[in-house]
Amino acid sequence: MAVAQDSYPASLATAICREPAGVAAAGSIRPPDGSTNSITAIFNYVSADVADADREAAQAENFEVRFYQELKNLRAWSARANWKQTSVPSFQVFVSTEYKISKALVHVWAGHPGRMEFPVRRVISGTAAIAHELAHVLFPNGNRFLAEGLAVYLQAAIGGNPAFPNFGRSLYQQSRELLQEMIPGFSVGNPKSLEQLHLSELDEIATPCPLTLRVGKDFCGEEPRGQARIYSIVGSFVQFLVETRGHEKFNALYEQTPLVPFAQNVGAPDRWRSVYDVSLLGLEKEWKAMIVSDDASTFGKDSVGRRRRPGATVKSQHLDCNRENGNA
């Protein structure tokens, strides 16, 4: 499918890149290992909104050190998976109470690659989705469904901390429980009970448009409740694709919808069949069958595949995902 020029107003790029008021003196640091061929990041803390104690707390949480560790992990994953990275000369990382959500992908689309925003509360609590946002910078995509799915999957699989939308829980289990809430007729062992869910609706959404989804009478929009549901679903679907078909095929699909600043490109519907020899609908049916299954070997693991003891919980599970804002 040809890349079409977007219909967004020219002022959008400036609007979404607005500087928060009172940015403190930026700190530029290199990785703790002193590597000279690593990317440099400049961290900006908003002094007008963030008290000195908050900044010290953020530093105490080793946010900057964790940022570089996540970057190192993602680059190592990229090398193992033979995944092409976007060249980024440096990162501009902003931390502020003005931000309700973490954001990086929309800045890449707006021609500002490397700009990342994190809410101060998430930085201080240790739940900032660093790997998620770094994935958007290193592996941006014109199809929002795939871009968010990969970012959620990587945060869950190799991220060093629990973060939105699953906060350390199995993406499969999270999706299953949320779908049980969304679909009254959900039935264990019956994939047809999920017929109201159509992933093709998500596959039609181009970056930077937000992901929205209607499941029966339930509409998932940009509100925290809707985003928690959508992001869990797309993350679990990408995890399913990678685990059942491998990184190579998913990479082949991903590369068909490269992100082009100020343009929109969701890709042709038949690209799924050209890569997987099966349509998106066919893959969706397989994923649904897995989600409704009662396979303890699938749902008895955390987000990185470690088996949990019966009755064990993850501390971060107690966060109310319905009230947590998402990522972009």
- Tell me, yes or no, whether 175 and 277 share the same domain: yes
In this predicted structure, the answer to whether residue 85 has a pLDDT above a threshold of 80 is yes
**164 within a domain of the structure (yes/no):** no
Q: Which of 139, 163, 190 is the last residue of a domain?
A: 139
- Tell me, yes or no, whether 311 and 208 share the same domain: yes
- Confidence label for 275 from pLDDT (cuts 50, 70 and 90): very high
**158 within a domain of the structure (yes/no):** no
Phi, psi (rounded to 5 degrees) for 206: -95, 150
- Tell me, yes or no, whether 318 and 253 share the same domain: yes
pLDDT for residue 294: 79
**165 within a domain of the structure (yes/no):** no
- Tell me, yes or no, whether 117 and 211 share the same domain: no
Residue with tokens 């897995």: 290
Residue 186: both structure tokens together: 């959900």
Domain residue limits at 103: 4-139
Query: Chain-wide mean pLDDT for the chain?
Result: 83
**What would the mean pLDDT of 268-272 be, rounded to a whole number?**
97
Overall domain count for the chain: 2
In this predicted structure, the answer to whether residue 323 has a pLDDT above a threshold of 80 is no
**227 within a domain of the structure (yes/no):** yes
Residue 210: both structure tokens together: 């937000």
Paired with 93 in beta bridges are 43, 116
In this predicted structure, the answer to whether residue 28 has a pLDDT above a threshold of 60 is no
**235 within a domain of the structure (yes/no):** yes
- Tell me, yes or no, whether 319 and 175 share the same domain: yes
**116 within a domain of the structure (yes/no):** yes
- Tell me, yes or no, whether 224 and 307 share the same domain: yes
**What would the mean pLDDT of 305-309 be, rounded to a whole number?**
38
Which residues 6+ apart lie within 8 Å of 271 measured at CB?
A: 253, 256, 257
pLDDT for residue 202: 98
pLDDT in tens, 71-80: 999 999 999 9
**192 within a domain of the structure (yes/no):** yes
- Tell me, yes or no, whether 86 and 182 share the same domain: no
**What would the mean pLDDT of 321-328 be, rounded to a whole number?**
61
- Tell me, yes or no, whether 297 and 207 share the same domain: yes
Angle in degrees, 0-180, between the axes of helices 224-245 and 171-182, rounded to the nearest 10: 130
3-state secondary structure of 139: coil
pTM of the model: 0.83
pLDDT in tens, 139-172: 999 999 999 999 999 999 999 999 999 999 999 9
pLDDT in tens, 44-67: 987 545 556 666 665 656 899 999
- Tell me, yes or no, whether 195 and 59 share the same domain: no
Gyration radius (Cα) of the chain, Å: 19
- Tell me, yes or no, whether 8 and 86 share the same domain: yes
- Tell me, yes or no, whether 192 and 281 share the same domain: yes
**65 within a domain of the structure (yes/no):** yes
